[in-house]
Amino acid sequence: MKLSLAQYLSSQRRPSTVRTEREGAVLRVELDSPDTGNAVTEAMLDDLLTVLAVPDPDVRVLVLSGAGDDFCLGGDRNEFADWLDDDPTGRGIRIAGDKARRVCEAISGNHAVTIARIQGKAIGAGLALALACDLRVGADTAGFRLPELALGLPTAWGGVLPRLIHEVGAARARELILTGRAFDAIEAHELSVLQRIVPERELDDAVTAWAKPIVRRPEAALRVTKALLNSYAAPTRLADPSVLDAELMATVAAATRRR
């Protein structure tokens, strides 16, 4: 049977790594690759950009979550290695790194209030995605880590470094990055990585408790307040070189690979 063009294109389309669900003024965006711990791939970045690049003005709250046991285990290391095999200069890393920055900026700069719903582990890129959100609630069993230095990479993904310094302070950020040690939900709360901790079964209730009053706020006031919060946060970050993240990661990865 001959396929129409639409049927052919549909048959060639890869499964999405992101699932969305709209309920009134709340948009839920779920990383949907549980078999890999929701590891961030270039395909996932593309899917996130498709969802986030042009915000729906009627959405007041955007909830970012992960399917399965973990929020996100970080970047896909196999894909990372493949990029270097294909081009030892790190071209693939530069392209994906630029997409990562755009995704995190689309989250942090979204006119809607963004909420990270975190269970299991949020590692590396997963922590970066969470930090891009306005509000973060985690299960009491959640765990966090920034392992990039141990992997021979700079902590330069999606603008995570200026956001981390802004949220937790330079001294604590320095210790977490240089040691690469894991920290639990209680410490994450003390560091303001999380604003709230609940048992995992209560995560959805906690998200709803935040979302309900927010969606009732007047749209113009909410939009302007979010813009003000972002504007006042920017000067405290001083110089924000996150636009260089992709170049820095590609250069260091290529140099490490040659050794």
d(CA 120, CA 231): 32
Domain boundaries, the chain: 15-258
Model confidence pLDDT, tens digit, residues 67-112: 999 999 999 888 878 877 887 877 888 888 899 999 999 999 999 9
Q: What is the pLDDT of residue 106?
A: 95
pLDDT at 247: 61
**What confidence score (pLDDT) does residue 2 get?**
46
Phi and psi at 28, nearest 5°, equal -100, 125
**Predicted pLDDT at 242:** 60
- Residue-wise pLDDT for 245-259, tens only, equals 566 555 666 666 556
Indicate the pTM of the whole model.
0.88
**Residue 62 near residue 114 (C-beta atoms within 8 A):** yes
- Residue 59 has what pLDDT? 95
Predicted local distance difference test score (pLDDT) of residue 74: 95
pLDDT of 7 reads 39
Residues in the chain where the model's pLDDT stays below 50 = 1-12, 238
**Which CATH code for domain 15-258?**
3.90.226.10
| Closest C-alpha to 66, from 139, 123, 120 | 120
pLDDT of residue 243: 57
Instruction: Give the whole-angstrom CA distance, residue 115 versus residue 107.
Output: 10
Q: How far apart are the C-alpha atoms of 28 and 210, rounded to whole Å?
A: 14
What's the pLDDT at 241? Answer: 57
